[in-house]
Amino acid sequence: MQKQLATFGGGCFWCTEAIFKELKGVEKVVSGYSGGKIKDPNYYEVSEGTSGHAESIQLTYDSRVISYEALLEVFFLTHNPTTPDRQGNDIGSQYRSIIFCHDEEQKNLAEKVKKKIESEKIYDGSIITEILPYENFYSAEEYHQNYREKNPDAPYCQFVISPKLTKFRQKFSSLLKK
What is the pTM for the complete model shown? 0.96
**Contacts for 146 with CB less than 8 Å, ≥ 6 apart:** 17
The secondary structure of residue 172, as a DSSP letter, is: T
Residue 140: predicted pLDDT: 97
User: Fold for domain 3-175?
Assistant: Peptide Methionine Sulfoxide Reductase; Chain A (3.30.1060)
Catalytic hit among 12, 15, 101, 157: 12
**Contacts for 152 with CB less than 8 Å, ≥ 6 apart:** 158
Q: Contact at 8 Å (CB) between 82 and 126? A: yes
CA nearest to 63, candidates 72, 55, 76: 72
Residue 51: predicted pLDDT: 93
Clarify whether 101 is annotated catalytic.
no
Q: Per residue of the chain (178 residues), give pLDDT as tens.
A: 589 999 999 999 999 999 999 999 999 999 999 999 999 999 999 999 889 999 999 999 999 999 999 999 999 999 999 999 998 888 989 999 999 999 999 999 999 999 999 999 999 999 999 999 999 999 999 999 999 999 999 999 999 999 999 999 999 999 999 8
Q: How is the chain split into domains, by residue range?
A: 3-175
Beta-strand pair 86-87/90-91: antiparallel
Helix, strand, coil % over all residues of the chain, rounded to 5: 40, 25, 35
Beta-strand pair 97-101/130-133: parallel
